[in-house]
Structures are given as C-alpha cells and as structure tokens.
Amino acid sequence: MTTYIEIELVKLKKKLLELGAKVEDSLRQSVLALAGRDRKLAETIIEQETTIDTLEVEFEEECLKVLALHQPVARDLRFIVSALKINNDLERIGDLAANIAERAVFLSKRDVIDSPYDVLGMADHARNMVRKSLDAFANLDEETAREVCTIDEKIDRLNREAYPKVTRAMQENPEHLEQLINYISISRYLERVADHSTNIAEDVLALLGGEIVRHRLEEMPEPDRDTSDSEGA
Amino acid sequence: MTTYIEIELVKLKKKLLELGAKVEDSLRQSVLALAGRDRKLAETIIEQETTIDTLEVEFEEECLKVLALHQPVARDLRFIVSALKINNDLERIGDLAANIAERAVFLSKRDVIDSPYDVLGMADHARNMVRKSLDAFANLDEETAREVCTIDEKIDRLNREAYPKVTRAMQENPEHLEQLINYISISRYLERVADHSTNIAEDVLALLGGEIVRHRLEEMPEPDRDTSDSEGA
C-alpha cells in the first residue's frame, strides 16, 4: 500500500528533477552562447534566471507544507531535508549559468581570442557532473554519486591549471587583458558548478548511508597549497 | 510555560550563533593575515576550516533530531528550515575565509604590491555584513536585516569597480600579473561573503514575514549588463 507521505515524496522528487533539467539546460545553452558568440541566446539565459529563482522558492514552500502536514520521520525526513539542499544547489548552478551567459555577452562584443585553456572541454565535464548528480538522485544510485565526486577532482585540477595558462596569455597579449580576465571568471564558474554538483552527489550518498559524508570526501588542506598554481581556489 | 520544543529551538539558535562567531573570526583573521603578510596566521585559518565543516555537519544532525522528535509546525518548522540554510551559508563563508587565507599565503611569498582597489575597506564591509546578519538572526531584527541587503549593493559595486582597476594595474605592471590575479580572486571572495550574508538576512526577513523574500530583493537582470565593467558577476 502506498501511503500519503510516499505520494508526496514522489511528487517532490519529480518537481526537483524538473528544476534540475531546467538548470542543466541553462548551463548547456550558456556554453553554446559562449562558443557561438551568440549574444541573443546569452541574454535569454540571463532572463531565465528569474524563472529558476521562482521555482526554487515554490519548491521550498512545498517542502515546508509536506513537513508540516505529514510530519515525516527517519528516512522520509532526511529525504526532504536533502531535497531542500539540492534545491538550493540547483538554484546556484542556475545563477552560475547566468554568470557564464553574462561573460558570453561581454566576449561577443570584443575581438575573438582563443581561450588559453580548453574551456569547452571543462564545460563538458561540468555539465556531465550536473546530469550525473541528478541521475544519482533520481535512481538513488551510489555508484553514479561517487563518480561525480571523482570528476570533481578533475575539474579542480583543470581550474588550477587554467590560471598559469591565462597568466601566460596575459603576458604575451596584454591587449587582450579584458577578455582574458573573463576567461578566468568562466573557469571559476565552472569549478563552482562542479562543487554544487558534488554537494548534490554527497547528499545522495548521505541519503543512502543515512549519515553525512560531505567534507569527509574532501581532501584535507595541504600544509602549503602554493606550489605550482598562482590561483587554486 | 516553556515547552520542550522551545527549549530545543533556543539551544539550536545558540549553537548556530556560536558557529557564526567562529566563522566571523576566521574571516577577520584571514584579512589580518593578508594585511600583515602573516603566512603563519593564514595557515592556521586554512586548518580551522575542517573544524567549521565538522560543526556544520553536527548542527544539521541536531536539526534533524529536533524535527524527528518534536515534529514542529508553522513558525517553529520554518525556524529550523531557516537555521539549516543559515548553517550552510556560514560554512561557505568559512570556506571563503580559508580561500582568502590561501591567497594571503601566496602573496606573502611574492614582492609587496599595493592592491589596485581598497581591499581592506571592502573586507571591512563584508565582515560588517556577516556580523549584522548574525545580529539580525539573534534578535530577529528586521531593520538590521534590511541594512545587510543595502550594504550588499555597495559591495557588488566595489567588486565591479575593482575589475577595471586591476586590469589597468596589469597593463601598467605586467611583472605583477600573478599577484594582481590574486587580488581579483579576493575581491570576488569578499563579494561572495556578502552574498551569503545577504542570504542569511533574507532568511531572517522570511522568518519575520512568514514568506520567502529572497530573489524579490534582487534587482531584475538588466537588458545589457556590459556597460562599464569588464567583469561584474
């Protein structure tokens, strides 16, 4: 027999995955706009941000209603608290997609320059992480959730490697400083998209294991982080 | 008569404010380390990040317990959900303090250069916002919460203005590119500290008004954000 609370939880999950699909789409399109110097598309994504914000607020209200009406405990309660956190992470990924779109608008009006690092490859990894973290949540799939955490390490590395590359390009082409600063921003935005996806994956792991795994997966701070990177955070 | 749930909520609030005080202190010290080129202090703050992470996880578990055991409704429920979100924002401010400390370590090993923008003034505003947002939460004080949102606009402006200043400094002193990139990062970190403080203030306003005000306070996206700033996000 399916209980009322189970029906509510299925509804919440469906709604959250719909928001996730919208956010993933915004991110995909912001990268397309960047790659194609498509200012119109970029502006559309910037406008869509408010829709995502509204959906986030609505979802939170629905979670509060389910909490108040059904007073779930144990696993159901943990599911809703995780859903609230995932909701928040998705909204931030939506913000970051809009940030990338803003950089795309800026860059579309300047001379074309090559990105000093593989920005599209990095964006692919980031988008892949968003999709996989949502898949992990949809299927409560531990393996996929762990995969997300692994890709995160790769993106952290790519972000660290981007800085000396951009610095070198700045030294060689000081006339492109403005554009190059924007490429630094984009690298950081993608790295933050990856972080939020990792948060989602860690919430899935917590749901599966019943305990909070986040932070434990993170590497401990090294005694001296300043080795090869001029900017690593 | 004081009910059990009231006692629990007072305990949660106290605990969250303790975490807030720790985070505020980390931020204060990371700026001191930056200003004083104090590598040892900066490294201490980087190490403290894990303590803050642990406190965040513990606090979340306690909220879950109170939710499960006392099944609060209405205002009490909303209080706990807000507390969970504030907990998350505080942990991220702690991360950002550690990020600033990492930049302080890097800069302490390079030639001294002047920051192209008033980094200490901007840091003062950011720290002020953290403290005020915590005060607003402690006293459920609407006026202070609104003040935080106003200071946020100022920090957004300072961050936007920092970019052209740093770009100009890069053009004039290309030999300081590496240090200057770090100053861009610090400006962005401070701007994100301000954003998280604003989230906290908006949660306080939501608690007071019983409705979610966040996003409504934000300005609508402008048709073209690329006017004077080379990097505005």
> Of A60-64, A225-229, B166-170, B175-179, where does mean pLDDT reach its minimum?
A225-229
Q: Do B171 and A177 touch (CB under 8 A)?
A: yes
pLDDT, residue A231, reads 43
Give the gap in angstroms from C-alpha B229 to the nearest C-alpha of chain A.
Answer: 9
Closest partner residue to A106 among B85, B105, B226, by Cβ? B226
pLDDT at residue number A112? 95
A54 touches chain B (CB under 8 A): yes
Tens of pLDDT, residue by residue over B68-97, are: 999 888 889 999 999 999 999 999 999 999
pLDDT of residue B76: 92
Residue A194, CB-side half-sphere exposure with 13 Å CA sphere: 25
| pLDDT the model gives residue A196 | 97
Mean pLDDT of all residues belonging to chain B: 90
What is the mean pLDDT of the segment spanning B117-138? 97
B4-36 and B74-108 are packed helices; what angle lies between their axes, rounded to 10 degrees? 20
pLDDT-flagged residues of chain A (< 70): 1, 210-233
How confident is residue B2, by pLDDT bands cut at 50, 70 and 90? Answer: confident
Tell me the torsion sign for CA atoms B178, A180, B193, A17.
negative
Residue B230: φ, ψ to 5°: -90, -15
Contacts with B215 (C-beta within 8 Å, 6 or more apart), sequence order: A50, A53, A54, A56, A57
Share of chain B above pLDDT 90, in %: 84
> How far apart are the C-alpha atoms of B59 and A97, rounded to whole Å?
31
User: Which pLDDT value is given to residue B24?
Assistant: 97
Minimum distance, in Å, between the CA of residue B4 and any CA atom of chain A = 17
Min Cα distance A230 → chain B (Å) is 6
Q: Does A7 touch chain B (CB under 8 A)?
A: no
Q: What is the pTM of this model?
A: 0.87
Among the partner residues A57, A225, A233, nearest to B185 by beta-carbon distance: A233
Q: Which residues of B touch A188 (CB under 8 A)?
A: 188
Residues in B touching A78 (Cβ below 8 Å): 64
The predicted model gives B17-43 an average pLDDT of 97
Short-list A138, A174, A48, CA closest to A99:
A48
**Quick one: pLDDT at residue A1?**
59
As a whole number, mean pLDDT of residues B97-115 equals 97
- The residue whose two tokens read 């300043």 is A226
Q: What are B4-15's pLDDT values in tens digits?
A: 899 999 999 999
In angstroms, the CA B191 to CA B197 distance is 10
* Pairwise CB contact (< 8 Å): B181 & A182: no
Lookup: tokens for A114 = 């090559």
Tell whether ipTM is more than 0.85: no
What local confidence, expressed as pLDDT, does residue B1 receive?
A: 59
Residue B216, sorted as left (phi over 0), alpha (psi -120 to 50) or beta, turns out to be alpha
Distance of alpha carbon B215 from alpha carbon B220, whole angstroms = 9
In chain B the first and final C-alpha atoms are separated, in Å, by 50
A62 touches chain B (CB under 8 A): no
